[in-house]
Amino acid sequence: MESVFSKIAKGEIPSYKVAEDEHYFAFLDINPLAEGHTLVIPKKETDYIFDIDETEYAGLFLFARKVAKAMCKVIPCERIGVAVIGLEVAHAHIHLVPIRSIYDLDFKKPKLKLDAEKLKSIAEKIAGAMRDA
Ligand code: AMP
């Protein structure tokens, strides 16, 4: 069965899309640790990130770097923290989280509750910064 993230990449399930190209897709995490918390995925479905073939793995991180640079331009933060967990959704993904301290990357923290309008405007801001890059 297809993962929820494959369905998101195909547009079969809605998401707050930030960026995409032929192979990769970035969208806001629906339960964000911080405003702008973004997930970057390969469109091709692989569960465990270290099982991805070398070329696609390198491409995933290069794509994530572009997204992170765009995030930094429009989300107030000191830098973008990176995490790979993958215990909840079995489709490889990189978490990009705007941070100011190590505690901002604590996944046990209560998640933010942002309404649809706020999420949409954050996604649009990052998408705009991607286009301007
Ligand atoms: P993990 O697999 O442990 O790295 O966690 C999966 C992440 O995906 C969590 O932070 C969830 O909030 C996020 N997530 C799950 N379903 C969706 C969805 N439909 N749209 C956006 N984010 C999601």
Is the CB of residue 87 below 6 angstroms from any atom belonging to ligand 1? yes
Q: What is the pLDDT of residue 131?
A: 87
Tell me which residue range forms the domain holding 19.
Answer: 4-132
Q: Which residue in the list 37, 91, 93, 95 is annotated as catalytic? A: 93
Is the CB of residue 89 below 6 angstroms from any atom belonging to ligand 1? yes
Domain of 45, CATH number, reads 3.30.428.10
Helix axes 54-74, 116-132, angle to 10 degrees: 110
Nearest-atom number in ligand 1 for the CA of 37 is: 10
Q: What is the pLDDT of residue 10?
A: 97
Is the CB of residue 59 below 6 angstroms from any atom belonging to ligand 1? no
From first to last of its 133 residues, the chain has per-residue pLDDT tens of 899 999 999 999 999 999 999 999 999 999 999 999 999 999 999 999 999 999 999 999 999 999 999 999 999 999 999 999 999 999 999 999 999 999 999 999 999 999 999 999 999 999 999 988 7
Instruction: Give the closest residue (by CA) to ligand 1 atom 5.
Output: 88
Active site residue 37: no
Q: What is the pLDDT of residue 132?
A: 84
Q: What is the pLDDT of residue 133?
A: 76
Q: What is the pLDDT of residue 120?
A: 98
Give the distance (Å) from ligand 1 centre to CA of residue 117.
19
Is the CB of residue 83 below 6 angstroms from any atom belonging to ligand 1? no
Is the CB of residue 86 below 6 angstroms from any atom belonging to ligand 1? yes
Number of domains in the chain: 1
